[in-house]
């Protein structure tokens, strides 16, 4: 990984001294369950700086599992982050975001290894990728066809397309790379979700199975 610089949503006190990798209380750490995948597909995570402090963030967990991945942080200063370095000829690049013009991942027919750009932040932050980074505006958008019907979420989802970042990456790789890769990442997401909800005083594990 490269780095370039029931209401279940009631906030409780901030986790004290969380694990620096999975951001969970150390007694609920799930780092031992992080899979390791060396894939041809490259995942490039564009994360908002505010997400770096959120213990519910899941995008960085995906990067720990994927060796061919990198992270760019935006919103750290008034100077706009230049993402032109993502436009490399050896990859066929797509942005994973369910915009009106996005096509289902199942329908693309890439001729090169795929680079998947994933925005990590709340819905409003993610939707500004085009306006804040016009260098990426010409790239095709792709989406996960199925709606999110899960009962429990790490955060409140206001749209049926809303998914946690790790969840979205897992479903995308399930389509591109196959069930084994996708399901291993989905399993990691479920462990993160279960441990987080347990930290909020819930025991949803039986309902998540």
> Is domain 16-201 in CATH 3.30.1360, yes or no?
no
CB under 8 Å to 65, separation ≥6 — which residues? Answer: 34, 35, 36, 37, 184, 185, 188
Could you tell me if 84 and 135 are in contact, meaning their C-beta atoms sit under 8 angstroms apart?
yes
Q: What is the dihedral of CA 71, 76, 77, 83, to 10 degrees?
A: 20
Q: What residue segments make up the domains of the chain, in order of their start?
A: 16-201
C-alpha 69 chain-centroid distance: 12
Each residue's pLDDT tens digit, 12-29: 456 678 899 999 999 999
pLDDT for 41 = 97
Could you tell me if 111 and 93 are in contact, meaning their C-beta atoms sit under 8 angstroms apart?
no
pLDDT at 197 over 80: yes
> Which band of pLDDT confidence, cut at 50, 70 and 90, is reported for residue 153?
low
Rounded mean pLDDT, 24-47: 95
Each residue's pLDDT tens digit, 76-115: 877 788 999 999 999 999 999 888 899 999 999 999 999 9
Could you tell me if 106 and 175 are in contact, meaning their C-beta atoms sit under 8 angstroms apart?
yes
């Amino acid at each position: 990984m490269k780095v370039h610089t029931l209401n279940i949503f009631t906030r409780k006190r901030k986790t004290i001294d969380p694990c620096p990798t999975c951001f969970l209380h150390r007694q609920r750490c799930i780092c031992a369950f992080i899979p390791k995948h060396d894939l041809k597909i490259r995942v490039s995570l564009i994360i908002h700086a505010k997400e770096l402090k959120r213990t519910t963030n899941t995008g960085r967990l995906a990067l720990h599992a994927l060796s061919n991945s990198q992270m760019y942080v935006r919103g750290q200063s008034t100077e706009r982050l230049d993402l032109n370095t993502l436009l490399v000829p050896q990859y066929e690049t797509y942005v994973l975001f369910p915009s009106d013009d996005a096509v289902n991942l199942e329908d693309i027919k890439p001729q090169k290894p795929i680079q998947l750009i994933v925005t990590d932040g709340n819905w409003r932050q993610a939707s500004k990728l085009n306006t804040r980074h016009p260098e990426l505006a010409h790239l095709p958008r792709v989406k996960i066809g199925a709606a999110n019907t899960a009962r429990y979420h790490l955060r409140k989802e206001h749209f049926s397309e809303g998914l946690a970042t790790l969840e979205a990456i897992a479903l995308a790789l399930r389509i591109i790379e196959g069930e084994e890769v996708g399901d291993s990442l989905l399993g990691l997401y479920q462990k993160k979700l279960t441990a987080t909800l347990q930290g909020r005083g819930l025991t949803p594990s039986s309902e998540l199975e």
